[in-house]
Chain A
Amino acid sequence: MLKTIAAAVTAVLLAGTTASAADITGAGATFPAPIYGKWAEAYKRETGVGLNYQAIGSGGGIKQITAKTVDFGATDKPLKADQLAQLGLIQFPAVMGGVVPVVNLPGVNPGQLKLSGDVLAKIYLGEIKRWSDPAIAGLNGGLRLPNLPITVVHRSDGSGTTFVFTSYLTMKNGGWATKVGSNDAVEWPTGQGGKGNDGVSAFVRQTPGSIGYVEYAFAKQNHLTFTQLQTRDGTFVEPVAANFAAAAAKADWAHTPGGSFYMLILDKPGADSWPITAATFILVYKHQDNPAKGQDVLKFFDWAYKHGDQLAEQLDYIPLPAALKASIEHKWQEVH
């Protein structure tokens, strides 16, 4: 009896080690973790190569790839060309999504409230304190807004989502740019911090008069009251897949600084462009210690670009445009 168990345990252990020997390891951003998981599942079924992805956050992803403990790092906050050169990394986008303001206003339905980038910044600066403020009413003719105090909710943990959101506010409001700036964690002038998308949405749900920001997929799956935002052209758009794609189409991927694919898809022109759209990025070394492993990583993303778009759409991510995929695959020639 004992022998059988021992044999079984050994077999399982051996199977585990042989399978994981060929597996790819990656770590980083939490935002794309669900789609990487889905892709990995399908990829393993087709090729037998698995992916072990740890969603430890963008900062963690950068740290892990720098320490060479993983085959690729993943980050929502792209590195600049000089940082990439210094670390010997190349960077490329994997998939796109959007960041969405969500509110809890009695009597206001999803998609009804209209906000502009400037008003959003002033709310997060604590300059606009009540929902009845003329600045908000001016954008929402006809919508009855309660005279509630505004409770600002932000992420308490460092987050790529925060980086994207604060980058947008930095573009739209000079006061925000000088006082707070953009980073994955900032010195919030006001409000409460919730841990993760869950924490933010729990506080928003429990607080009448509150406003927060979450990733689009999270807002959609949890039926949160999202808002419209004003585009650069002055129109108001809802956060839907078509509008993220419209913004993404306006991004000039062919001319990123130093071919680094450093790109913030914020406040793009076009009447349908959702203003807070973002790509999430992969980091790999140019000079691989183990070139075969490096190729395994690229093969995985090559497969994902060719066969993964539908899975991405099912999970409310936006696939990359075909031209961009082609130029990324061209860039991969630098990896050896």
Chain B
Amino acid sequence: MTSVPADPPASGHPHRRAVSRGSTFDPIFGFLCGAAATLLLATLTGVMISLAIGGWPAFAKFGLGFFTSTRWNPSPDIAGGEFYGGAGPIVGTLITAVVALVLSLPIAVGVAVFLTEFCPRALRRPIGIAVELLAGVPSIVYGMWGLFVFAPLFSQVVETPLAYWTPPPFLGPGFADFWNNVVIGDLVPNGSGILAASIILAIMILPFMAATLRELFLTVPPKVRESAYGVGCTPLEVVMSVTIPYVQRSAIGAVMLGLGRALGETMAVTFVIGNAHNFPKGLFSGGSTIASTIANEFAEATTPLHISALIALGFVLFIITFAVLAIARTLLNAQRQA
């Protein structure tokens, strides 16, 4: 069965009574819709302003240091008192989100292409629905699974062998340096760290991106694809030179939406990232993200400055996510106009 879009019955001129009713209710309807939109916008602005106000004491006290320092000392009894520098969580947020994206994008494209080009018609709907269902699994579930199932496995299969591997000399001292400092860092083979968190994130955003990409691929007019097949293109050629170029910009938008979700993900990351406030030394080191830091500390933060520092981190996350979504929106709009 091909789904023919159900056009509204083109029954010519609208009914006279409908016209008169519309003229009465349309202004009210329009007003209500406008109010709904304004309310949403007001909420968004309100959240942003209250985060800025709440975080102000921390911004004012530490200035630029809030963004550049990795010292995070909530204990007021130590010489120098409390100090909050958010560089560790901010960088951790960006690294985990980007690595997650790099890992999940190729697979998401693969799933979407399979569903639109190769999948037997009968399986298309069930698989499509399954992908969308996966996107709805709560994050805490991924967190528990990550800590109790994934981390031990990751430790055994990936981290322990890597920890014992020494780069062979013919790769040169440069590679050995890169390997030891950037890849290995201070690896502790227990399945936690930046990379482990990124992989969990990748699994979480994968169904979301795959579902969006599939929708996009379906927007390619069948005429275009069929004519490509008609001139003798292979499926690979159709995907590479017709489908993907056709949806390119929107696809970037979809990817950015995935990135947005990865940036704010909390519980799943908190369980496996290792929760160290300092700068991550490598992909396997422990780190923290903005969301995981807030989740860890907010309940027990009692001093005003500690609470303010956490709210300030929330503000930074808000700005980062806002920027990502704004870019996504712009790209999607550009596609629509093209």
Q: How large is the interface on B (under 10, 10 to 19, 20 to 34, 35 or more residues)?
A: 35 or more
A157 touches B296 (CB 8 A): yes
Q: Is the CB of B299 within 8 A of A192?
A: no
Contact indicator B271/A56 (Cβ below 8 Å): no
Question: Which one of A62, A151, A194 has the greatest number of beta carbons of chain B within 10 Å?
Answer: A194
Pick from B73, B191, B271, B300: contact of A158, CB under 8 Å? B300
**Interchain CB contact under 8 A, B190 and A207:** yes
Closest-by-CB residue of B relative to A195 is: B270
Interface residues on A, range: 35 or more
| Supplied contacts A158-B74, A185-B74, A199-B147, 5 more A-B pairs, CB within 8 Å | A157-B300, A185-B297, A192-B192, A202-B147, A207-B190
Q: Using known A-B contacts A59-B300, A60-B300, determine if residue A182 contacts B77 with beta carbons closer than 8 Å.
A: yes
Which B residues are in CB contact (< 8 Å) with A193? 274-276, 286, 288, 296
Is the Cβ of B296 less than 8 Å from the Cβ of A187? Answer: no
* 28 pairs, CB–CB < 8 Å, chain A vs chain B: A57-B300, A59-B299, A59-B302, A62-B302, A151-B188, A156-B270, A157-B299, A158-B296, A159-B300, A180-B78, A181-B77, A182-B77, A183-B75, A183-B77, A185-B74, A185-B297, A186-B74, A187-B83, A188-B276, A192-B188, A192-B192, A193-B274, A193-B286, A194-B275, A199-B147, A202-B147, A206-B190, A206-B191
> B300 to A210, Cβ gap below 8 A?
no
Select from chain A the residue with minimum beta-carbon distance to B147.
A202
Distance in angstroms between the alpha carbons of A158 and B74 in the assembled complex: 10
- In angstroms, Cα B16 to Cα A117, docked, is 89
Cα distance A191–B275 in the bound complex, in angstroms: 9
Ranked nearest first, the 6 interchain pairs of A and B with the lowest CB-CB distance are: A158-B300, A193-B275, A156-B275, A59-B300, A183-B75, A187-B73
A44 interface residue (CB < 8 Å to B): no
* Chain A residue, CB-CB nearest to B152: A206
Across the interface, do A158 and B299 meet the contact criterion of CB distance under 8 Å? yes
A190 to B270, CA, bound (A): 18
* Neighbouring A residues of B79 by C-beta, 8 Å: 178
- Report if B151 contacts A (CB, 8 A): yes
- The answer to whether A158 and B190 have CB atoms under 8 Å apart is no
**Binary contact track A109-136/B, C-beta < 8 Å → 1, others 0:** 0000000000000000000000000000
Residue from A159, A186, A206 within 8 A of B155 (CB atoms): A206
**Cβ A195 vs Cβ B271 within 8 A:** yes
Contact between B188 and A207, CB atoms less than 8 A apart: yes
Specify which chain A residues have a CB less than 8 angstroms from the CB of B286 in the assembled complex.
192-193
Q: Are A63 and B74 in contact (CB under 8 A)?
A: no
Q: What string of 1s and 0s marks CB contacts (under 8 Å) between A224-254 and chain B?
A: 0000000000000000000000000000000
Most B-side CB within 10 Å, residue of A59, A156, A191 = A156
Q: Which of A243-276 contact B (CB under 8 A)?
A: none
Q: Does A179 contact B (CB under 8 A)?
A: yes
